[in-house]
Amino acid sequence: MKRSISSIFAISAAVVLTISSCTGRSFNISGAITEAKDSVLYLENMSLSGPVAIDSVKLSESGTFSFSHQAPAAPEFYRLRIAGQIINIAVDSTEQIEVKAQYPTMSAVYDVSGSDECAKIKELALHQMDLQRQVDAIISAPDLGIDAVRDSVQRVTEAYKEGVKNQYIFAQPMRAYAYYALFQTVRLGQMESLIFNPRSNEQDVKVFAAVATSWDTYYPEAERGKNLHNIAIEGMKNIRILQQQQLSSIDPNLVNVSNVIDINLPDNKGQLRRLTELNGKVVLLDFHVFASEGSTARIMQLRDIYNKFHAQGLEIYQVSLDPDEHFWKTQTAALPWICVRDERGAQSDYIVSYNIQSIPTFFLMGRNSDLYKRDAQIKDLEAEIRSLL
C-alpha cells in the first residue's frame, strides 16, 4: 500500500480544512440529480479529519432534493455525493444554491446557480480535470523517457499554476474559491500530490501566504486562515533548511556523468554499497518500508522478478526507510539482493533528490546507470526489464 511522504499536505482537491460556527442563520442547497432513483445523496462537510455527513436523502424518480443547514461565520466547504460522484460546494453566506445534474456524470457535468463561489469552483474543477488528462497522456506516451516525461509534466503543471494564480487566487485571495484552489491535486500514476506545493516550493509558499494574509483581514477568527499561516510558516522553514543544505553540502561526487544521483549507504551486513557500483547492470532501484502494510507480498513479487532476471544482468538495490534497524536486518537477512538502509527515514535527502512522494516507489535504470522509468510510467515491469537486458 502506498503511503504519502507528505501526507500532512497531500489533501484531495475537495478535502480542505474546516471551521464551523453557529450564526443563527442558515443556507439552503436544493435541486435535482436525475437518473439516480433510490440512490442516497449525501451533504457532507469537509472537516479536518475528512468528510462529515450533515444530511442525506434517498432520491425519487425526479431526483429532487433540498438541504438546509446553519450558515458558517466564514467561508466553508461542503460536497454533494452519490457513491464516488462528487460536486463541491462553497458557502459564505445565507445562500440559496441550486444544483442540477445527472448521475453518474455529476462530478464533471452539472449546473449551479445562486453562488458565484460555487460557479468558480466548478470552473477550477473542470480546469483540474483537463490538467489531469494532459498529465495522463504524457505519462502513457510510449516514446517518452523519464526525463522527457518529467519535463513535460512540469511544463503543463506550471502553466496551469500560472493561470490559476492570476485568474483566481491573486485576483480575489479572500474568496473561498481561492482557498479551494490551493488544495487541488494532480495524480501521477498512483501518486497524488498538491499542485501548489507548500512544503518546498518557495513561490507556492508565497501563494499560500497571500491567501492567509487576506483571510486574516476578512475573517480574522477563521481557523482556515490560521491553518494557512501554519502551512506557510512550515514551508518557509523547510525552504530555509533546503537552501542551507544546498549551499553547504553540494558534493559533485554525488552526481555521475549520467546525472544519476549516487546513493552510498550501509547494507544489512554493515558494508557501504554505492548505487553507481552497479554500472553495467540493469538496476531496479527500490525505496521500501518493511514495517508497512503489504510489505511481505511486495517482497515476494520482487523475489520472483529477481529470480527470473538476475542471471541475465538484473540487480535490485533496495533502500529501506525503516526506523528500527534490528527489525530491518531481521526482515532482509535472507534476501539475495542489495539491501541498504537510510537511518534518517522519512527525512532522507534521497526522498527529495529522487522526488519521491509515496512509499513504496521504484525506478528502472539502464546498464549505463541512466534513469529509464519510474513505477508510475510502467505498465508491464517484466517487459520493461527485458527491453533493457
Q: What pLDDT does residue 244 have? A: 64
Write the single-letter amino acid at 352.
V
- Reading the block at residue 310, the C-alpha cell is 538476475
Q: What pLDDT does residue 222 have? A: 84
Q: What pLDDT does residue 17 have? A: 34
What's the angle, vertex CA 62, arms to CA 56 and CA 68, rounded to 5?
Answer: 35
- Long-range contacts for 277-281 (Cβ within 8 Å, ≥24 apart)? 278/315, 278/317, 278/338, 278/365, 278/369, 279/367, 279/368, 279/369, 280/313, 280/367, 281/313, 281/314, 281/315, 281/367
Candidates 262, 303, 304; CA nearest to 279 is 262
What's the angle, vertex CA 65, arms to CA 62 and CA 68, rounded to 5?
Answer: 170
Q: Where are the alpha helices (DSSP H) in the chain?
A: 116-140, 146-164, 176-182, 202-218, 223-249, 295-309, 325-332, 349-353, 381-388
Q: What pLDDT does residue 149 have? A: 83
Q: What pLDDT does residue 379 have? A: 87
**What CA–CA distance (Å, rounded) separates 89 from 45?**
9
Q: What pLDDT does residue 8 have? A: 29
pLDDT tens, residue order, the chain (389 aa): 554 444 423 333 333 333 334 446 889 999 999 999 999 999 999 876 678 999 999 999 999 999 999 888 888 999 999 999 999 999 987 789 999 999 999 998 999 999 999 999 999 999 999 999 999 899 888 787 777 888 888 899 999 999 999 999 998 999 999 999 999 998 876 677 889 988 778 888 889 988 988 888 888 888 888 888 788 888 777 767 666 655 444 444 443 434 567 899 999 888 899 998 898 899 999 999 998 888 999 999 999 999 999 999 999 999 999 888 889 999 999 999 999 999 888 778 888 777 777 788 899 988 888 888 888 888 899 999 999 98
Candidates 137, 194, 127, 196; CA nearest to 161 is 196
280: buried, middle or exposed (CB in 10 Å: 19+, 13-18, 0-12)?
exposed
Place of cell 525552504: 239
Q: What pLDDT does residue 81 have? A: 96
CA 169, 174, 177, 178 torsion: positive or negative?
positive
Q: What pLDDT does residue 150 have? A: 82
The set of residues, in sequence order, having a beta carbon less than 8 Å from that of 139 and lying 6+ positions away, is 149, 153, 188, 189, 376, 377
Q: What pLDDT does residue 242 have? A: 61
Q: Calculate the CA 191 to chain-centre distance.
A: 6
The set of residues, in sequence order, having a beta carbon less than 8 Å from that of 257 and lying 6+ positions away, is none
Q: What pLDDT does residue 190 have? A: 63
Q: What pLDDT does residue 237 have? A: 76
| pTM greater than the 0.85 cutoff | no
**What CA–CA distance (Å, rounded) separates 303 from 335?**
8
Q: What pLDDT does residue 11 have? A: 32
| Orientation angle between helical segments 381-388 and 295-309, nearest 10 degrees | 30
